[in-house]
Amino acid sequence: MLEFTATQLDEIEANVFERYKRDLAVYFGQKYSKAASGQDETRLLPVVSRAVAAGRQLGLKTTDSMTRYVALAVLVNEHFAELPEIGRFFDFSGIDPDLKVHILSEALIERLGGA
């Protein structure tokens, strides 16, 4: 049986996590280039990295909610969560953080679709 030390597992997790952030930067850079101000993955990676860290701090657990959170940071404004209204919404207890991001992103999509 193959066994890993705690340090090795931490390194594996860090590498997987870095790959995940890179993949998100590539995805948004290619799929939403115009909306992302034409930024390529190299310029998006720091934004994505900070958004993923913020999403983890909020307690996001699903890939869908993390992708939505990163999308808000990349396509709307990296500092969207610092807006008082958004901060109060995220601080509200009793609603799962993943659901909060889903509600917020759907509300924005609906609003933009109706604009």
Better pLDDT: 17 or 40: 17
pLDDT at residue 60 in the model: 95
Residue 103, pLDDT > 90, answer yes
Long-range Cβ contact pairs of 43-51 (< 8 A, separation 24 or more): 44/74, 45/21, 47/73, 47/74, 47/78, 48/21, 48/24, 48/73, 48/74, 49/21, 50/78, 51/78
**For the chain, which residues make up each domain, given as ranges?**
6-113
State the pTM of this model. Answer: 0.83
% of the chain surpassing 70 pLDDT? 95
The pLDDT tens digits of the residues spanning 40-87 come to 778 889 999 999 999 999 999 999 999 999 999 998 889 999 999 999
**Which residue from 56, 54, 10, 52 is spatially nearest to 27, judged by alpha carbons?**
52
User: Stretch 26-41: mean pLDDT, rounded?
Assistant: 78
